[in-house]
Amino acid sequence: MKIVPLYEGAEKKSYYKFLQEIEHVSGEEVARIKAIKTDSSLPPAFADRAIVQTPAYTPVPEGVYLLNDGTIFVSAVTPAPDLTGEMMEWWMIWHQLDPLRYALWNPEDHYDVKISDETRAQILDDRLPIRERGWGISCTISESMNGEKPAWGTLNFVEPAWAGFDNTLIGTDSCQFMLVANNVQEIGPLKYPILMCEMVRKSAEGKNEWVVAAWMGHGIKDGEEICFKLPKTVRAKLASEMPSMFIVHNHKEIGHLNKVLPAIYADQKDNWLE
């Protein structure tokens, strides 16, 4: 089993036993994701983004969409029948406390995670509901998309309502869990905004699935919506690289999490400080 480098003593942690081999996405699946040709009218407009939390939203077929407003939409949908909103609210903050925990999620691609002392204090603040401990924090991660050389990046997590979503819908069948990140990707000298939400929701077949909706070129800055339009040729080049491989990566790591998290949660949910 290929495993990212771990720090000395990681094998002594009580959760080291959950480090398991990850299944790869098949070549056929990778080709399917990359080859999808889609209708740019399907993704919800950024102004209508809160619809993704409701029963009215049917997850957009997977793919990378070049939109008429000069931006990009990314949709990923991964079966996750054994993940629950409660588990994910806990997992998304618990794993940030230790690089080994991050590696449990994807032992081939998750190299490191770093957080500030302030973020650590908020995650451990039991006066806050677990859901709220992840609002307004940042983490810096080192990961590869699918086995290549890892790169560092920062994720900025925000309260859903701050980003135009509805907090009262979190916990419903269509939005059992919701994570919202307001990020910036550096493209040469450009700082390209990306607003991404990830959710656990019940599928039309009645089973939970992991749904990603990401608006690339849109974001929130100083409380205001921003839109960064790129020429179609630039967007086409960008879309052919990172976004489609992100979808593949999402299938790989969420499929693995669906396999290992129920046992991790049952065994470790009260283990914050080890």
Ranges of each domain in the chain = 31-267
Tell me, what's the pLDDT at 31?
Answer: 84
- Give the chain's radius of gyration (CA, Å): 18
pLDDT of residue 165: 98
CA distance 55 to 45: 17
> What average pLDDT does the chain have?
94
Higher pLDDT, 119 or 63: 119
- Give the mean model confidence (pLDDT) for residues 21-42: 84
CATH number, span 31-267: 3.30.530.20
Confidence (pTM):
0.95
pLDDT band at 52 (very low <50, low <70, confident <90, very high): very high
What is the per-residue pLDDT for 234? 83
What whole-number distance in Å separates Cα of residue 252 and Cα of residue 116? Answer: 28
Q: What is the pLDDT of residues 54-67, one digit of tens each?
A: 999 999 999 999 89
Angle separating helix axes 242-268 and 232-239, nearest 10 degrees? 40
What does the pLDDT look like over 7-22, one tens digit per residue? 999 999 999 999 999 9
Check if the beta carbon of residue 131 is closer than 8 Å to that of residue 137: no
CA-based end-to-end distance of the chain: 25
6, 100 in Cβ contact below 8 A? yes
Whether 148 has a pLDDT exceeding 90, the answer reads: no
CB 208 within 8 A of CB 80: yes
Whether 208 shows a pLDDT value over 80: the answer reads yes
- Most confident residue range from 94-108, 188-202, 220-234, 242-256: 94-108
- Enumerate residues 6+ apart whose C-beta is below 8 A from 229: 69, 70, 71, 217
DSSP string, 1-63: -------TTGGGSTTGGG--PPPPPPHHHHHHHHH----TTSSPPGGGGGGGGSTTPPPPPSE
pLDDT above 90 coverage of the chain, percent: 81
- For residue 240, pLDDT beyond 80: no
User: pLDDT confidence of 141, banded at 50, 70, 90?
Assistant: very high
Q: Which of 226, 232, 237 is nearest to 187 (CA)?
A: 237
**85-94 and 242-268 helices, crossing angle to 10°:** 100
Confidence of residue 233 (pLDDT cuts 50, 70, 90): confident
**Of 262 and 243, the one with more pLDDT:** 262
Mean pLDDT of 201-229: 96
Name the pLDDT band for 96 (thresholds 50, 70, 90).
very high
pLDDT of residue 258: 98
Tally of residues, the chain: 274
User: If you ran DSSP here, which 8-state letter would residue 162 be given?
Assistant: G
